Structure 1
Amino acid sequence: MSDFDLQRVDLATGVSLDVAVAGDPTNPAIILLHGFPESHRTWRHQIGDLAKDHFVLAPDQRGFAKSSKPLGVENYTPDKPVADLIALADRFDIDRFTLVGHDWGGAIAWMAALNHPDRVARLIIVNAPHPFVFQKTLFDDMAQREASQYITAFRNPDFEKYIDGIGLSQFFDGSFMRHTDFAKVMDEKPTYLEQWGQPGAMTAMLNWYRASAVNVPAMDATPERPAFLDGPFPALKMPTLVIWGLDDKALLPSQLEGLDPLVPDLTIDRLEGVGHFAPWEAPDTVTKAMRDWLEAQGA
């Protein structure tokens, strides 16, 4: 029996999302945002536990699984999923909530927290870089720049042809080979392939990268440095927990450096021997970290 009810939810932003819903709506709300190339299944080990005393929403974000896939790169700029998030909270009459994000979901969570501090009461980030730190390391940390060259590949308009050539099964293997123990994800492979095989899904997912303003310089490039990197950046106003698998091959531990002035009320939980997909690579550890911090916050 599932720990949640998967509901189709129409939003004021014009998209319809599949949303995992669990728990008592009168309990404090917590919203879980997945990243690439996943779905609400990112949080399959956390939803049931959190639902014991929270009202949990875990959407398949626009472009993923069976949620709406509007055409055009412009429909995947980060402000669009942020608007979806706020519309989702409004749809369930949720004023303030704890927001959790992993990977691209974490990028959206950072932005939502910066732009909607009146709605985001607490923030939990799992292996997702702060926008200022990430852009800075892409210029100043050559190891992170090298690790991020895949973004340029994903932005190539012919990348779907490459995937068609090798097939979704091989793309699955390549997507996780460098990042996790296959034994921890192989049972989910049919689910991934079914979700990725939805009409337009692969292009929609890749459009998140194509729509992003993040500048990923080539390894031999010396581009002009964005002026904002040497100026002030607004600090977050809410308590924030960052959970970080230190074996992440795509997002290096340098993403934790320089966070303190950007996040004054910051707790960092570093996970040794855990990679990028921490919510299901080390589910009990991640759930406990979330639980312990929420309890300390009185949430």
Structure 2
Amino acid sequence: MFTEELIAVSRQPRVELFVALSAGPSHRTVLVIHGGPDWDHTYLREPLSKLAGTHRLVMPDLRGCGRSTRGLSDEQYTPDTAVDDLIVLMDTIGVDRTDVLGFSYGGLLAQRLALAAPHRVRRLILASTTVEAVPADAFDDWPDARERRAAGARVWSNPHLAGPELTRAAAVASAPANLWRHEMLPAYLRRLESVRFSAEWLRPLRAGILPHALLEDAVPRLTALAIPTLFLHGRYDMTFPARSVRRAADTIPSADAEILQAAGHMAHVDQPDAWLAAVSRFLDSTPGSSCDEGIHHQVQAEPPGCD
């Protein structure tokens, strides 16, 4: 289903991205940008692999992640260098324009990519991500979120863990916060076993030199771009509150939002069929039209912290 190769995207320093590519028509290319950022792309292969053939999937590991080049100096890990890599990757594999799906931290990079090269982006899917800063007290009125997030916070503050061991342990401990459906937890933990975690981006983050990926003026700048955009989010996301997605969809004329019920931050794991259906509808929609009359403003009573 996928071919895998290392593709050079920088000579100085030397950077090669590990990329999984599927068959599919070049005019229906989908560039998938994973989150973390110290994860790899593999946790997103399902259910996206079902698009292979009808779409050409391009799924890279970011620099410092997975099987891509590691060991760069701390200042080489920035949102802008990651975006530059992706643009060179598109040039190298012969992609003039692409649909872009960015997940979580990858959604922040996807916004930067659209702003840096708007003529290269057909449609933009911002999955489980944000366009505004999350307040420190965002989940204070949601006891379940506070309880679920506590385990991950304890791991991050554990002085006996470091490097990829820390990143993996934090991902495992945060699983109950990242998923909403408890019955999906065993399969999700098995999925994490295959992720090649790193800690390359963690070093500059803890050193205080990693630039923030979130753009302060993201909403007006995305509004000006007028690129068809889908915010795809879980109603019970405990990383980026769902209410911020609805605000963005209300503000950006070219954007729609779909809030999946019974889904958390890893909405593609909680609700794989509904998540993939939303992606497919949007990719197959005509730019400038609503991609599905059921997508925009799916508003129900929300849990505290998500209203």
Aligned counterpart, 2:212: 213
Q: What is the identity, as a one-letter code, of the residue corresponding to 2:138?
A: A
**3-state SS of paired residue (1:275):** coil
Greater alpha carbon shift after TM alignment, 263-272 vs 4-13: 4-13
Identity %: 24
Aligned counterpart, 1:21: 21
Matched residues in 1 for 2:71 and 2:166: separation?
24
Deviation by residue 1:228-250 (Cα, 9 ceiling, x = unmatched): 67x96552321001100111111
* 1:179–1:275 CA contact under 8 A, matched in 2: yes
* 1:245–1:272 CA contact under 8 A, matched in 2: yes
Aligned counterpart, 1:203: 200
Aligned counterpart, 2:53: 52
Matches within 5 A, 1:121-160: 121-130=122-131, 133-134=132-133, 137-138=134-135, 142-143=137-138
How far does residue 98 in structure 1 lie from its aligned partner after superposition? 0.3
CA RMSD of aligned residues (A): 3.5
Query: Is 1:184–2:196 an aligned residue pair?
Result: no
* 1:160–1:203 CA contact under 8 A, matched in 2: no
Deviation by residue 1:36-95 (Cα, 9 ceiling, x = unmatched): 153221321234322222211000111111211243332122111111111110011111
Matched residues in 1 for 2:165 and 2:212: separation?
29
Structure 1, unaligned runs of 5 or more: 216-225
Matches within 5 A, 1:1-299: 3-12=1-10, 14-36=14-36, 37-130=38-131, 133-134=132-133, 137-138=134-135, 142-143=137-138, 161-163=160-162, 170-180=169-179, 181=182, 182-192=185-195, 195-196=196-197, 201-205=198-202, 207=204, 211-213=210-212, 233=221, 235=223, 236-260=225-249, 263-297=252-286
**3-state SS of paired residue (1:61):** coil
**3-state SS of paired residue (1:63):** coil
**3-state SS of paired residue (2:10):** coil
* 2:74–2:204 CA contact under 8 A, matched in 1: yes
**3-state SS of paired residue (1:118):** helix
1:165/1:245 CA distance change after superposition, 3 Å:
closer
* TM-score, L = length of structure 2: 0.75
Aligned counterpart, 2:295: none
Matched residues in 1 for 2:55 and 2:245: separation?
28
**3-state SS of paired residue (2:174):** helix
* 1:121–1:238 CA contact under 8 A, matched in 2: yes
**3-state SS of paired residue (1:86):** helix
1:42/1:170 CA distance change after superposition, 3 Å:
closer
* 2:3–2:22 CA contact under 8 A, matched in 1: yes
* TM-score, L = length of structure 1: 0.77
1:60/1:165 CA distance change after superposition, 3 Å:
closer
Matched residues in 2 for 1:260 and 1:190: separation?
35
1:115/1:189 CA distance change after superposition, 3 Å:
closer
Matched residues in 1 for 2:10 and 2:165: separation?
38
**3-state SS of paired residue (1:46):** helix
* 1:238–1:265 CA contact under 8 A, matched in 2: yes
